[in-house]
Structure 1
């Protein structure tokens, strides 16, 4: 005899959250391996734009972070060729140089102690939407982790290699986890590498869906309360971890070298 068919929604949600904690396994990759996996996942997800874009994660000591070396594409990043740099972009471990645009990541990390990973890329649909100077619109259940969680910078400040861009972008991001940058691309943050990776995949999908919907007609908003419910339902560490693990398994079929 069924025991749950008369239970209210909030109780069923809590039961599911408890089950996720027990049944969804955490991965055992190091931060360097997770960063390399993220680069390969994003490459496969359309985030490739030559040498444009950076991914960083906080390092072992304050004021340090891991990043990829300039000159390598996302499909060439491995755990072994990542750099450890300080806030002046001085290389502390590894060979090569970081992307000079990494400078604005330091400003975000300083402003947001809750952020442990930053991903900035120029995927096609995000970049196309950024050319229209319109904010990201969330009007579909799958995209709700970004509902009321994606800021918008309408005025392009230019190439982000100066401290000015760091101040502008970190201020525009505010307390959101993502931001659409006009005439530029996207930036997502995460409390974990897994969270940032999943949001980066999602924001490109969101931009693609928005462009498709705009071409067909006017986008209809979704009820804010339901959107917030979906935001919180999907945005949990266990859900982010499970999604990341799936993307990683899929990527490793073609990119097993990234863990070395």
Structure 2
């Protein structure tokens, strides 16, 4: 047996990643099921703001994606109630209409083929931070998946129902996974539904921690190299899947109807 007390940190991290691949199970859910679960998970964690906010995920057909029908809250969404729309927001499957603000999702999907899921919400602490026109500060180990991966749009372009807002938000996001929209809320562009959901939860926690820290004093930065190491260590597909599965189990205790 190898004496791990003599192993380098790099070696131990590699071994742990390999163990995660083998030990952590994968839950085989459909896109619709995962998206419905995401709606319920975010509702349970303070992302509810009436009918504001949209959650979308690419569907199988090119240029189409699933989203919640306008008029239903996150706590009412089920896998069967989701509608499938094309990039012009025309419903191709399902009943109801999408939120007109979904137009900027279409812009992001066009520009970012790596993005599989977009979450846009107005949770309380993120919205409060956005009112200060202050970028998100990542200065704690738990928040490192957001390190150097969060853009900031300092100017509010108005309600995002036009093409202008789609162009502005997409350009500001660039190649990053998250963005804080001043006077508005958060946006997550995830490589998977699981990753997007976990990052949305983390983003709101980061905003809450930032407001608490700012009230107590001056936020101190963390070393960039260590922050990047933590970003890459935490933000892996397997970790996102495991975290999502945990939050899904919690949500299903009270929202089993979301899976029909």
TM-score range, shorter chain: over 0.9
Match of 1:153 in 2: 153
**Which residue is equivalent to 2:136?**
136
Deviation at 1:144, TM superposition (A): 0.2
Question: Could you tell me how far apart the structure 1 residues matched to 2:88 and 2:175 are?
Answer: 24
Match of 2:22 in 1: 22
Kindly state the Cα deviation for residue 189 of structure 1 after the two structures are TM-superposed: 1.1
Q: What is aligned with 2:88?
A: 88
Q: Secondary structure at the match of 2:65?
A: strand
Measure the CA separation in 1 of the matches of 2:19 and 2:90: 45
Q: Kindly tell me the number of residue pairs found equivalent between the two proteins.
A: 260
Q: Which residue number in structure 2 is paired with residue 228 of structure 1?
A: 228
- Cα deviations by residue, 1:132-163 (Å, 9 ceiling, x for unpaired): 00000000000000000000000000000000
TM-score with structure 1 setting the length: 0.99
Could you say what secondary structure the match of 1:5 adopts? Answer: helix
- RMSD of the TM alignment (CA)? 0.8
Q: Deviations over 1:193-221 (max 9, x none)?
A: 00000000000000000000000000000
**Cα distance in 1 between the residues matched to 2:184 and 2:88:** 23
Is 2:174 the counterpart of 1:174? yes
CA deviation profile, 1:38-74 (whole Å, cap 9, x unmatched): 0000000100000000000011111100000000000
Alignment of 1:248-259 (within 5 A): 248-259=248-259
Large movers: runs of 4+ above 2 Å: none
User: Unpaired runs of 5+ in structure 1?
Assistant: none
Offset at 1:129? 0.1
Q: CA deviation at 1:6?
A: 1.1
Q: Which residue of 2 aligns with 1:110?
A: 110
User: Separation in 1 of the partners of 2:147 and 2:88?
Assistant: 34
Taking the aligned partners of 2:27 and 2:195, their CA distance within structure 1 comes to 13
Distance 1:205 1:70 in 2: 27
TM-score by length of 2: 0.99
- For 1:58-73, list aligned pairs within 5 A: 58-73=58-73
Per-residue deviation, 1:2: 7.3
Alignment partners' CA distance in 1, 2:112 and 2:195:
15
